[in-house]
Structure 1
Amino acid sequence: MIHDWFEQLELPPGENFIYSDNSLYFSTFSFSILLHLVLFLFHSFHCRYTFFVQISHTHLVLLISFISFLFFLVLSLVIVFIIIILLLRVHSFLYNILSSSFPLSIPLSLFSYLS
């Protein structure tokens, strides 16, 4: 049953999650990695800590889905923050070029002189 889940979460043949336009591939890839990690931890500590056995299958899937959601929320906020910073830097760079370039500085100085 778990093997069927992994087959559903796998990328289609020939698709690369980094260069794909659809972010669903990246999210299912990350979800698959998280699921593998949690199941590995569950299996490795199964003999020592029996409270891992008490976690139901539905709760495990919900926990992994919530962790994946938080990861992508933080990732999207970081990407938006980086884009805003880049836009502000481009804006200030263009403003500095337009205000200090020689051909444009003459009309600007004339305009300030006339006003």
Structure 2
Amino acid sequence: MNDLKPSTSSQPPLKLIPAYLGTSSIAEALRTERGQRILWLEILLNDQLDPTPWLSDQDFCKAYQTACRWYTHYQRLITYLFDRAPLPHDPGPIDFREYRAFSEAACFVYEGTRLS
């Protein structure tokens, strides 16, 4: 099994995964169903995250696509709150049942950035 562990020294800190999952790596998040459900939010709200090391992982790519779609739909809000670098444009459908998770994660990260 491919471990997908990029060097942690070059990786910026994660914003959601440690608080939501108690882990500090993308590789560990990818190993659990819950981690895979949270990963798109980490990608969406953390523009310091370099996706390159994980683009060969199917679950990561699915989360990345979801993040791109949510970014496309909520670009103005995300840019205003987080001054986030753009994600690729993807006008595909989003699952609005995930809106609560999106809003809670955005509030969590926003509060964390205001306090730091």
- Verify same fold: TM over 0.5: no
TM value normalised by structure 2:
0.26
Higher relative contact order (CA 8 A, sep 6+): 2
The structure whose residues are more often helix, as a share, is 1
TM value normalised by structure 1:
0.26
